Amino acid sequence: MTEIVMNNAVLIGGMMALVWLVSIPLRDVSIIDLVWGLGFVLVAWKTAWLFNDWSFAAPSRPLLLGMTTLWGLRLTSHLAMRNIGHGEDKRYAAMRCARPQTFWWQSLLLVFGLQAGVMWLISLPLQFGIAQPTPGWHWQHVLGLLFWAMGLFFEAVGDWQLMRFKQNPANRGQVL
């Protein structure tokens, strides 16, 4: 299991370093938001690939892979539609303005490195669940699937409501 966890740490670190390199000429650190969901999808599939058992005898592995993939792709597509073409996020632009000469390398640690560490930490239960699946169906699988479906539904509805709110010119400068 240690090998899988460390392989995923390298995967996440490499992915974030690559995205950081892309962000430098773009002068847009907010592209990291687009890879957040995809990062978890990559970790899930890399874990399954490293475990190298595609029999899916245990339902928890395909369940976790499917749930993570749907969630990650939904989040990435939502953020892409919302952010592409709108320039750098205000949070990152303020950081860049405060450190104009050194931001390009400081963003590696303050933004990309931090999010890589957080992604790895948050993905640990996912990695363990995929690498050490429970054989057979259990009530916990059904309960987990229901909670996931409710969470995905509320995320999607909340994103849709926020989009509609922001589209109304009367709401400019207001918070939902």
Asked if 72 and 152 sit in the same domain, the reply is no
pLDDT value of residue 55:
66
For residue 157, pLDDT over 90 is answered with: yes
My answer on whether 162 and 128 are in the same domain is no
Domain identity same for 86 and 148: no
What mean pLDDT is predicted for residues 20-32? 94
CA atoms lying within 13 Å on the CB side of residue 52: 4
Do residues 72 and 11 both lie within one domain?
Answer: yes
SS3 52: coil
Q: How many residues does the chain have?
A: 176
Q: Distance between CA atoms of 48 and 41, rounded to whole angstroms?
A: 11
Q: Are residues 99 and 18 in the same domain?
A: yes
Residues 86 and 142 in one domain: no
Q: Quick: pLDDT tens for 45-89.
A: 999 888 776 666 677 888 889 999 999 999 999 999 888 888 888
Query: Residue 74 and residue 80: Cα distance in Å, rounded?
Result: 10
